[in-house]
Chains A and B, each alone.
Chain A
Amino acid sequence: MSMSKIVRAAADIIFVFILTFGFYIVAHGHLTPGGGFQGGAVIATGFVLLIAAYGSRALLDRFGKEWFRSSEALGLLVFIGTAFVALFLGATFFANWLANGGLIFGEAVAFGPNPGDLNTGGVIPIMNIAVGIEVLGALSLIVLYMLSGTEEGA
């Protein structure tokens, strides 16, 4: 089941921009409004657009449910793993063990409104990316499961 050629061509073009916008929201979650959940939802909307234009069969041939399932599991594992690393370093669970440390994402920021730097935030960008991966997998999976339940033989 796929829509007309106009819809498919428009979906091809818009999908790229939706994906770019979603990854921008996820990557800049510690600087601008947004974050992992919002960015993941935007990316999942892009996948749902592809499903609406081409049908779920075409998307499943390319990616498969395993892809989304493992992306969800990977996001959750990275999220909880980052929280557990703090325990091994002697801090509390969910402590920000990378902030102001000089390592990756470890630059200090000045107080007050400033343009910001991507290389700040400690574990916040890592957790944003983890939550983004998890949400994009989960929300796409919900739509895919519902479609496979309602389509006969699909």
Chain B
Amino acid sequence: MIAMIAHTLVLVGLVIAAALVFRFRDLLSAAIAFGVFSFLLSLEFYILQAPDVAIAEAGIGAGLTTAIYMVAIKGTERTEAEE
């Protein structure tokens, strides 16, 4: 029962984080939301018994990709251009 609730919470959090990445105009906030998305995705991989993929996702998705996005935002502009 507890595992079921945790699994559902992780899935709902995944959808919310993905929607936030899409919604945010501030690209720094979007990058942080993407880091949260990657972290929840690695939790989901762990729940689905794929610890290999979970470690890779936590290291690359949550750690390195966020850092690379930060560097890219620092080199360009922080806010998304209005249409």
Contact present between A and B (CB < 8 A): yes
On A, residues with C-beta under 8 Å from B are: 25, 33-35, 37-38, 41-42, 44-45, 48, 51-52, 139, 142-143, 146-147, 149-150
Contact of B74 among A35, A139, A142, A150 (CB under 8 A): A150
Q: Say whether B75 contacts A25, CB under 8 Å.
A: no
Q: Is there contact, CB below 8 Å, between B63 and A146?
A: no
- Interface residues, chain B, CB within 8 Å of chain A? 51-52, 55-56, 59-60, 63-64, 67-68, 70-72, 74-75
Q: Chain B residues near A150 (CB, 8 Å)?
A: 71-72, 74-75
A41 touches B56 (CB 8 A): yes
Give chain B nearest CB distance to A69 CB in angstroms: 18
* Chain A residues within an 8 Å CB radius of B70: 52
Residues of B within 8 A of A146 (CB): 68, 71-72, 75
A131 to chain B, nearest CB (A): 12
Inter-subunit contact B51/A33 (CB<8 Å): yes
Query: Which residue of the partner chain A has the closest CB to B72?
Result: A146
Q: A33, A38, A51, A149: which contacts B59 (Cβ < 8 A)?
A: A38
Residues of B within 8 A of A44 (CB): 59, 64
A25 touches B55 (CB 8 A): yes
Known: A149-B75, A150-B71, A150-B75. A34 touches B55 (CB 8 A): yes
Provide 29 A-B residue pairs closer than 8 Å at the C-beta atoms, listed in order of the A residue. A33-B52, A33-B55, A34-B51, A34-B52, A34-B55, A35-B52, A38-B55, A38-B56, A38-B59, A41-B55, A41-B56, A41-B60, A42-B55, A42-B59, A44-B59, A45-B63, A45-B64, A48-B63, A52-B67, A139-B60, A143-B64, A143-B71, A146-B72, A146-B75, A149-B75, A150-B71, A150-B72, A150-B74, A150-B75
Smallest Cβ-Cβ distance to A22: which chain B residue: B59
Q: Give min CB distance, B62 to chain A, whole Å.
A: 9
C-alpha gap A25/B56 in the complex (Å): 11
